Chains A and B, each alone.
Chain A
Amino acid sequence: MKKAKTKKTYEEINERIRKGKAVVVTAEEMIDIVDKDGIQEATKKIDVVTTGTFAPMCSSGAFLNFGHTSPRIKASRIWLNDVPAYGGIAAVDCYIGATEVVEGDPLNSVHPGEFNYGGGHVIEDLVAGNVIRLRLEGYGTDCYPARKHEKNMTIRDFRDAILFNPRNAYQNYNCAVNMTDRTIYTYMGVLRPRMANATYSTSGHLSPLFNDPYYRTIGIGTKIFLGGAQGFIAWWGTQHNPHAVRGENGVPMEGAGTIATIGNLKEMNPRWITGASILGYGVSLYVGIGIPIPILDEDMARYTAVKNDDIYAQVYDYGMDIPSGIDKSLGTVSYRELRSGSITLEGKKIPAAPVSSYYRAREIAGILKEWIGKGEFLLGQPQSHLPSVEMPR
């Protein structure tokens, strides 16, 4: 007699979470469970697998409403601690982008620039409850006569503060090397000449989109850990590309899917929303994201048991190729190699260092596991799926 395959619904899993009976493990723990018990048993036993990532994520920022002033102003130019924010939204709404640099920064005029303060730091300061100097300029209208306004504010004084990141949690990312003979300073960190070192991002088998490669459960409306609070996936991220080359396990071997995330900045924590100054490149924002993945069936158990040995990244030259727009892979390396601290490329052993924090990613997966285990966090069923490709059967 053939045993019926286990199937679970979101409602069933949420019911178990509510009752405090759900079995929740991290993506790291799931690897061992599937190894030991097999796919069938793991599908029955495990309800949710938690994932995590913590890295500088450009394409992040916050919508802020700073409230009306007296007399009123239609703020068309806005600065927060001298970092320009975009004001072409409404009278007192703005968007502060993570990569915006403080006004008057010497940038790269003395190379490599230090980029000590910018949008990412403003967002961190807001989350930390620090005082922010708000400076506004308007052209004056009959209904909004004021031309200038300045005040000190903390995040509590803002009417609304919403983190909205158009592109986060890249499903896979490049491994970077430098084939020129000078040191270069990139968003992938410093790269020494003649392939003397390699850098990479993503938390490998803990990374959210590696654990659901075809976006079956990660979709629009999925509830997530965002910056220490509960947030949501709002849309697919910009540059989302499900058509990337995939391995036999369905995992993309190059940059592929992305998500747009949204959450209440007022509830977040500076431990998970941290400004970043990237030497010679600019300012960015470390964002902590964790996504719970329901084990609806055996496919999801198989996907969440993926390990670093079976996840691959492409190596690119950030010295000549990438800057000139040439996407020519120099080779393929596994995350097991990358995590070991060195890769072998063209017969040469190259030390590899991450730019994303595996330590923090693991902590996020652990926190999410705890939240769900305690019944504080229910799964959000996607209202619509992200663009994907056919899952091979």
Chain B
Amino acid sequence: MTRSVYCLSIALMDQKLKEEQFSKKIIIHYTADIVDQPIVHRLVKDYDLAFNILKARIFPRREGLLVLDLTGTKENFDRGIRYLKKAGVTVEPLSDRVTQNQDKCVHCGACVAFCSTGALYIEDKTFKVLFDPEKCTGCELCVTACPPRAMEINLL
């Protein structure tokens, strides 16, 4: 009896883990030959992922980039990413492309007024300006808002 309850709870936890929503912001780079394919559509239809487009650009030679906030179960998320890679686009976390240049930052806090997601914030006590890349949506507002130009974003 107890054993079966135990097994059931394990199974439920497993199920819960599977259903727990996982979310990550990613950059997808398209090459010109596949820019016309409905790749994001497949993420929704085949992998049950919800997406929020934070940025989309197509460049003169028809290559393009897409910044997505992708949400789904961890399992589906991983499968979705595998699909993207197979489909011939490059995928990487947005957080890898946004950095706070520590040599340039003077920790004034001017950026904090611009940052709408709270990714840039002033740490209590030390009064240092810190950057949490996971909260960043890549809006790029901080780039020109920073007087010593310490925020570096390279989405290309």
Residues in A lying within 8 Å of B, measured CB to CB: 54-56, 112, 114, 116, 189-192, 197, 199, 274-279, 284, 286, 341, 351, 353-360, 362
Cβ 8 A contact of B106, one of A278, A284, A360: A360
Given contacts A189-B113, A197-B113, contact A360 B107 (CB under 8 A): yes
Cβ 8 A contact of B110, one of A189, A275, A341: A189
Cβ 8 A contact of A353, one of B106, B110, B126, B149: B110
Minimum CB–CB distance for B50 against chain A, Å: 29
**Which residues of chain B in 119-156 are interfacial with respect to chain A, using CB atoms and an 8 Å cutoff?**
122, 126-129, 144-145, 147-149
Bound-state CA distance A276–B108 (Å) is 11
Minimum CB–CB distance for B86 against chain A, Å: 41
A-B contact count (CB 8 A): 68
Q: Is B114 an interface residue (CB 8 A)?
A: yes
Chain B residues near A362: list those with CB within 8 A.
127
Bound-state CA distance A359–B112 (Å) is 15
**Contact yes or no, A359 B148, CB < 8 A:** no
Q: Is B64 an interface residue (CB 8 A)?
A: no
Chain B residues near A286: list those with CB within 8 A.
106, 108, 147-148
Bound-state CA distance A112–B107 (Å) is 23
Bound-state CA distance A116–B149 (Å) is 9
**Contact yes or no, B107 A277, CB < 8 A:** no
**Contact yes or no, B147 A284, CB < 8 A:** yes
Bound-state CA distance A115–B108 (Å) is 18
**Contact yes or no, B109 A357, CB < 8 A:** yes
Chain A residues near B122: list those with CB within 8 A.
341, 353-354
Known: A199-B113, A355-B109. 5 other contacts (CB 8 A): A54-B108, A279-B145, A353-B110, A354-B110, A360-B108
Bound-state CA distance A286–B110 (Å) is 13
Minimum CB–CB distance for A194 against chain B, Å: 15
Cβ 8 A contact of B114, one of A190, A275, A354: A190
Q: Chain B, interface size: which category?
A: 10 to 19
**Contact yes or no, B144 A279, CB < 8 A:** yes
Bound-state CA distance A279–B126 (Å) is 26
Minimum CB–CB distance for B73 against chain A, Å: 35
Minimum CB–CB distance for A108 against chain B, Å: 13
**Contact yes or no, B110 A355, CB < 8 A:** yes
Chain A residues near B113: list those with CB within 8 A.
189-192, 197, 199, 351, 353
Bound-state CA distance A274–B122 (Å) is 20
Chain A residues near B147: list those with CB within 8 A.
56, 276-278, 284, 286
Given contacts A341-B122, A359-B126, contact A353 B109 (CB under 8 A): yes
Instruction: Report the nearest B residue to A288, measured CB to CB.
Output: B106
**Contact yes or no, B114 A355, CB < 8 A:** no
Residue interface bits B36-59, CB-to-A below 8 A is 1, else 0: 000000000000000000000000
Q: Could you list 9 examples of A-B contacts with CB < 8 Å?
A: A199-B113, A277-B144, A286-B148, A353-B122, A354-B109, A358-B107, A359-B107, A359-B129, A360-B106
Bound-state CA distance A279–B145 (Å) is 6
Chain B residues near A191: list those with CB within 8 A.
113
Minimum CB–CB distance for B19 against chain A, Å: 36
Given contacts A189-B113, A190-B113, A362-B127, contact A357 B107 (CB under 8 A): yes
Given contacts A190-B113, A359-B128, contact A275 B148 (CB under 8 A): yes
**Contact yes or no, B108 A355, CB < 8 A:** yes
Bound-state CA distance A197–B111 (Å) is 12
Chain B residues near A274: list those with CB within 8 A.
106, 148
Given contacts A353-B113, A359-B127, A362-B127, contact A277 B108 (CB under 8 A): no
* Interface pairs A-B: 7 shortest CB-CB: A276-B147, A359-B107, A358-B127, A353-B112, A357-B108, A353-B113, A354-B109
Bound-state CA distance A250–B106 (Å) is 31
Chain A residues near B126: list those with CB within 8 A.
359
Instruction: Report the nearest A residue to B149, measured CB to CB.
Output: A277
Instruction: Report the nearest A residue to B147, measured CB to CB.
Output: A276
Minimum CB–CB distance for A312 against chain B, Å: 20
Q: Which of A55, A274, A353 has the most CB of B within 10 A?
A: A353
Instruction: Report the nearest B residue to A54, measured CB to CB.
Output: B106
**Which residues of chain B in 85-121 are interfacial with respect to chain A, using CB atoms and an 8 Å cutoff?**
106-110, 112-114
